[in-house]
């Protein structure tokens, strides 16, 4: 089991996990490990982030450090694209999720869609960064945090990104999120 610090700051994360360099496939299984890996991946992103999630897991994506890194990336350059597919955003909206609020403010960089019906039974959850780094959970529910992580896996990340793009192209803006824009 990989042990990462429980306080998720970029300075605390192991320096040997470098996006585009560290090739090791690592298995993790706790909320803390998932949160720290998500923050480490996002903090090193330069171009794209794709998030495929069941409910936009608050344990991973609704914290100040994650929000800060997403904001910095989204405001760095106009060509930056942060795409989020969330099966059910109702809980995140009800709880005023930081990422939802940020997407409402940065409408030209952060996009949230709801997958089309034919993809509603997909149970996995994943995060890909710059086409090379990824965190993948076979079961994306908020009770199972068993995941595989790789900071330099262009082939595996490409497959996840291809699936993401296919779902993205058949999806619409999440109507619950869109309502909040008015």
Average confidence (pLDDT) over 47-51 = 97
Total number of domains constituting the chain: 1
pLDDT of the residue at 140: 80
171 occurs within a structural domain = yes
Per the prediction, the chain carries an average pLDDT of 88
164 occurs within a structural domain = yes
Confidence of residue 56 (pLDDT cuts 50, 70, 90): very high
The sign of the CA dihedral 93, 98, 99, 104 is positive
24 occurs within a structural domain = no
Domain of residue 44: give its range.
Answer: 31-181
Confidence of residue 16 (pLDDT cuts 50, 70, 90): low
74 occurs within a structural domain = yes
CATH of the domain at 123: 3.30.870.10
Q: Residue 2: name the closest of 12, 14, 20 by CA.
A: 14
């Amino acid at each position: 089991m990989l042990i990462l610090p429980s306080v998720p700051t970029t300075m605390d994360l192991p320096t040997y996990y470098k996006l585009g360099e560290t090739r090791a496939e690592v298995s993790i299984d706790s909320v803390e490990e998932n949160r720290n890996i998500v923050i480490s991946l996002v903090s090193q992103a330069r171009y794209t982030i794709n998030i495929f999630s069941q409910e936009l897991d608050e344990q991973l994506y609704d914290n100040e450090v994650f929000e800060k890194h997403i904001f910095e990336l989204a405001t760095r350059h106009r060509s930056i694209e942060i795409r989020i597919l969330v099966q059910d955003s109702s809980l995140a909206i009800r709880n005023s999720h930081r990422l939802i609020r940020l997407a409402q403010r940065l409408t030209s960089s952060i996009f949230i869609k709801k997958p089309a019906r034919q993809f509603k039974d997909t149970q996995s959850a994943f995060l890909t960064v710059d086409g090379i780094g990824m965190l993948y959970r076979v079961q994306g529910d908020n009770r199972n945090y068993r995941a595989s992580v790789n900071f330099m896996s262009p082939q595996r990340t490409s497959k996840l990104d291809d699936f993401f793009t296919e779902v993205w192209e058949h999806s619409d803006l999440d109507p619950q999120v869109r309502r909040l824009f008015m």
